[in-house]
């Protein structure tokens, strides 16, 4: 048997990783400026992360949610403290797509309505409900097609209200900052107005923080740049586990739980919770949220000044760089000539930066220097 061939692969085989560095089978060191799709939040092989998982493995690795799992409550409490969302409740699952699926389900259960709104450039996952809200027709199978899902123009509040007024919308889902779409930052006032419109028409506002959460933007959640915003549902994954599969939904207390409403076999298992706690502890102890904001504020103006760079968008260490040419060959040269991993985006001219929050400033400056060499 061979693997199902669905991924275009970079011709590098990593065998070791520490911090923001990766080594391949030949012993060549690469700088990781992409973190495996924003997953590596506290750096590869962080000693506290490794120790936490090893210690848990020696006790109990897994049992289902049919018994008490105290480490779930510890994770929920710590997440509430660090995120500032203490009044929310946490449902644990295994991935970002699964988190979004459960958020959509909760919005529909809560409102009694079937329809949803998302936005141009959105990416919310590849599973049945999430994929139809993702703005990429190529990955939406015929079985996923629905006539009550609306992908509206980015930031078009008038179009949102027009659709909400039809009375069939359970929820609006929007990324805290669009990731795959190319690092597009919603205006704070737009998010506030979306919350107001959702409330007016009896819908739920879902903030997809799968890529933009966990300190990456200089706030714990990207939506927290909009002061006072309180979404009905917040979805998380990726940086939540630093490589260990874990996801979750933060649920506003206005949405009530009941037995059997949601469920999962592996979600919230002992090892996943140990990984999740380790990430939060490192973020707190190493002050990584402030670090992300500081590094972003220093790097973005440097990138903007490079000839061949058209626009730079983002906050903290979630950055999109639009070039005056296709980004693919530039990214390839960064890998093979300068040993640097970066990310692609929906736009062929965009490079995404999503490095570990522990990255050194010198490494970011080295990237900017090498990018300038390639473009000029």
* pLDDT per residue as tens digits for the range 67-109: 999 999 999 999 999 999 999 999 999 999 999 999 999 999 9
> What pLDDT does residue 259 have?
96
> What pLDDT does residue 37 have?
95
The residue with tokens 């919350």 is: 195
Which residues have a Cβ under 8 Å from the Cβ of 81 and sit 6 or more positions away? none
Rounded CA gap, 36 and 342, in Å?
A: 9
> What pLDDT does residue 314 have?
98
The pLDDT tens digits for 195-225 are 999 999 999 999 999 999 999 999 999 999 9
How crowded is the C-beta side of 371, counted as CA atoms within 13 Å?
A: 31
Percent of the chain with pLDDT over 90: 99
> What pLDDT does residue 203 have?
98
* Beta-ladder partners of 350: 322
Rounded CA gap, 308 and 305, in Å?
A: 9
* Beta-ladder partners of 30: 22
Q: How are strands ordered across the β-sheet holding 309-315? A: 309-315, 318-323, 350-353
Rg of the Cα atoms in the chain:
20
The pLDDT tens digits for 16-72 are 999 999 999 999 999 999 999 999 999 999 999 999 999 999 999 999 999 999 999
Rounded average pLDDT over 325-332: 97
């Amino acid at each position: 048997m061979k693997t199902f061939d669905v991924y275009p692969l970079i011709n590098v085989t990593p065998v070791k990783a520490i911090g923001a560095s990766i080594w391949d089978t030949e012993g060549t060191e690469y700088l990781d400026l992409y973190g495996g799709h924003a997953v590596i939040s506290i750096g590869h092989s962080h000693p506290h992360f490794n120790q936490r998982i090893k210690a848990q493995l020696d006790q109990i690795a897994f049992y289902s949610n049919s018994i008490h799992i105290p480490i779930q409550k510890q994770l929920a409490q710590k997440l509430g403290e660090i995120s500032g969302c203490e009044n929310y409740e946490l449902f644990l699952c295994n991935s970002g797509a699964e988190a979004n699926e459960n958020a959509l389900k909760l919005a529909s259960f809560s409102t009694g309505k079937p329809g949803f709104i998302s936005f141009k450039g959105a990416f919310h996952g590849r599973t049945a409900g999430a994929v139809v809200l993702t703005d990429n027709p190529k990955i939406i199978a015929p079985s996923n097609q629905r006539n009550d899902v609306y992908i509206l123009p980015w930031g078009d509040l008038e179009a949102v209200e027009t659709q909400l007024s039809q009375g069939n919308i359970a929820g609006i889902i929007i990324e805290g900052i669009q990731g795959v779409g190319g690092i597009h930052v919603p205006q704070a006032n737009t998010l506030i107005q979306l919350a107001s419109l959702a409330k007016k028409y009896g819908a739920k506002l879902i903030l997809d923080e799968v890529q933009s959460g966990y300190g990456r933007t200089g706030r714990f959640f990207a939506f927290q740049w909009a002061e006072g915003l309180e979404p009905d549902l917040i979805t998380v994954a990726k940086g939540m586990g630093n490589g260990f599969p874990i996801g979750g939904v933060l649920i506003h207390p206005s949405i009530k739980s009941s037995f059997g409403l949601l469920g999962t076999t592996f979600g919230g298992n002992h090892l996943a919770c140990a990984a999740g706690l380790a990430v939060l502890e490192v973020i707190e102890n190493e002050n990584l949220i402030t670090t992300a904001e500081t590094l972003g504020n220093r790097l973005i103006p440097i990138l903007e000044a490079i000839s061949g760079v058209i626009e730079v968008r983002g906050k903290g260490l979630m950055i999109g760089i639009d070039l005056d040419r296709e980004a693919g060959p530039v990214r390839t040269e960064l890998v093979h000539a300068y040993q640097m991993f970066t990310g692609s985006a929906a736009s062929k001219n965009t490079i995404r930066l999503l490095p570990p929050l522990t990255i050194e400033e010198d490494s970011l400056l080295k990237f900017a220097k090498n990018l300038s060499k390639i473009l000029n």
